[in-house]
Structure 1
Amino acid sequence: MTDPVSSIRHLGPAYEASLAAVGITSAQALRAIGPDAAYAKLLANGQRPHFIAYYALVMALQGRPWNDCKGAEKDKLRVTFDLLKKRNENTDAHFWEATLDAIGTGKRR
């Protein structure tokens, strides 16, 4: 039996719908993939990066409310969030450059 993502305290129907759109449809699947990989999937699917949304996910998977994240812990999560965001931006940029090159409108070299 699988539990819905919204069965994780502090994650509601909106987060559940966002995760379902990237193939994470149960609390068990979310716990298995972890917050970083799950958030990376959301970014790759076009979700706009939002630091609070990221650390709310991390906190929820620890059974803690989003506003429990403070100080050094929050600073560390910010570093991880920035890395996830940068990786997604790089992937997105490479994709579009390759697409434009394929149709002949990419960078002139």
Structure 2
Amino acid sequence: MSGTPVSTIRNLGPAFQAECTRAGIPDAETLRSLGAHEAYRRLLAAGTRPHFIGYFVLHMALQGRPWNDCRGAEKTALRAQFDALRAEARPAPEDAFLARLDEIGVIAPRRPETDG
């Protein structure tokens, strides 16, 4: 039996529901239990492009508040949390470059180092 669709939460529509499904968040109950920050972390890991408005809308939605209710110090605090999450989710440029080279077969896989 599946849970309540994510799109039943105020301000979250079918497109957001599809993103959640792709990130392994199948229903509203799972989304609520994860909380906005952890759910957004999973969305980023699944390939969702980071967008601050989506982050704070998710916070407001899970609180049952209108999306545009986020202002002042609360919005500033959420921005700091979003920026930290985004930096954490983004691989270092060197790691991303090496991963891409490996993906297209330009470099050989790394072998574990041994102690001689």
Would you say same fold, with TM above 0.5?
A: yes
Partner of 1:48: 49
The one-letter code sitting in structure 2 at the alignment partner of 1:52 is I
Give runs of ≥4 in structure 1 deviating > 4 Å: 98-102
Against the structure 1 CA distance between its residues 40 and 65, is the aligned structure 2 distance closer, same or farther, given a 3 Å change threshold? same
Against the structure 1 CA distance between its residues 43 and 91, is the aligned structure 2 distance closer, same or farther, given a 3 Å change threshold? farther
* Larger-Rg structure: 2
CA distance in 2: counterparts of 1:83 and 1:77, whole angstroms: 10
CA distance in 2: counterparts of 1:92 and 1:43, whole angstroms: 17
Q: Write the deviation string for residues 22-51 of structure 1: whole angstroms up to 9, x where unpaired.
A: 110110000111111111111112211100
The one-letter code sitting in structure 1 at the alignment partner of 2:75 is K
CA distance in 2: counterparts of 1:31 and 1:88, whole angstroms: 21
Task: Please provide the CA RMSD for this pair.
Answer: 2.5
More divergent stretch after superposition (37-46 vs 26-35): 37-46
Quote the sequence identity (%).
51
The alignment covers a number of residue pairs equal to 106
State TM-score, norm by structure 2. 0.79
The one-letter code sitting in structure 1 at the alignment partner of 2:15 is A
State TM-score, norm by structure 1. 0.84
CA distance in 2: counterparts of 1:15 and 1:9, whole angstroms: 12
Structure 2 runs not aligned, ≥5 long: 111-116
